[in-house]
Amino acid sequence: MRGDLIRRAAAVARRLAVEAGTFLLSRLRERRSISHKAGRGNLVTDMDRASERLILRGLRRSFPAHAIVAEESGVSGDAEFRWYVDPLDGTTNYAHGFPLFCVSIAFEVRGRMECGTVYGPALDELYEGIRGGGARRNGRVVRVSRQSRLSDALLCTGFSYDPRIRRRNMKLWNAFLPRAQAVRRVGSAALDLCFTAAGVYDGFWEMSLGPWDVAAAALIAREAGAKVTDFCGGPLDLDKGDVLAANPRLHAAMKAIMLRYNKF
């Protein structure tokens, strides 16, 4: 029973992520209607809302009794089956025509994440993970890197729109920058976690993300062999949103920097 449900959920998530991502990509160069949510830089576009409507319509058609946690429309339903939807992760990139953005959809059963899908349409990369079943990119198995030296590692982070949290993360940026081979800031947490899953990045951290940002990609990263925790090495808390993900060889070194330079 569980297997049939998860396979069906994964198939629906795949279809909707690709459909929404293809739709977003087709409108990338058009003029945008842009507004601001809480925080000066926290944009929302007409396409965030249009993509979310497309996904929610598909989920409700396939699973009418399931609850949904969506970035733009909030929480609906109260059920043991729950979906997490980010219709456009990387909104600022999208609004400026920078083609690194994605659609993220995850499915949870009784508090346990069962499957996750992230689609980056400009790259035509579909990342999928099923609990206990591994992680794949365009159907091929992906694994984290084997890098064990922080000095040879390519890391990535992202910055909150909250100025206080940005200042906290700048301390970590300044700590990691001279210790790593390089640090990137791309602007899509879900893609960053998937790139970590695929061994492109050796490690990733970010503060105060939304549950829709990381629900799918954290599962994908774990299934690819990453250690995904909070900054202290404890279980990832989707509501708090502080994420540290790295291959197991590098995680301890990154956590040590976190504990030294970040105040919790």
pLDDT in tens, 93-120: 999 999 999 999 999 999 999 999 999 9
The residues spanned by each domain of the chain are: 2-141, 150-261
pLDDT in tens, 10-49: 999 999 999 999 999 998 987 666 555 554 445 567 888 8
> Average pLDDT in the 158-162 region?
92
CATH number for region 2-141: 3.30.540.10
Name the more confident of 49 and 79: 49
pLDDT above 80: residue 237:
yes
pLDDT in tens, 195-212: 999 999 999 999 999 999
CATH architecture of 150-261: 3-Layer(aba) Sandwich (3.40)
Local structure of residue 227 (DSSP, 8 states): E
> Average pLDDT in the 186-190 region?
97
In this predicted structure, which of 42-46, 122-126, 235-239, 241-245 has the lowest mean pLDDT?
A: 42-46
Angle between helices 211-223 and 189-197 (to 10 degrees): 0
How confident is residue 172, by pLDDT bands cut at 50, 70 and 90? very high
Residues 174 and 161: their CA atoms lie apart, in Å, by 18
Residues 73 and 75: their CA atoms lie apart, in Å, by 7
Average pLDDT value over all residues in the chain: 92
pLDDT of 40 reads 47
> Average pLDDT in the 125-148 region?
98
> Average pLDDT in the 82-87 region?
96
- SS3 letters for 126-178? EEEEECCCEEEECCEECCCCCCCCHHHCEEEECCCCCHHHHHHHHHHHHHHCC
> Average pLDDT in the 119-140 region?
98
Identify the burial level of 166 via C-beta atoms within 10 angstroms of its C-beta, where 0-12 means exposed, 13-18 middle and 19 or more buried: middle
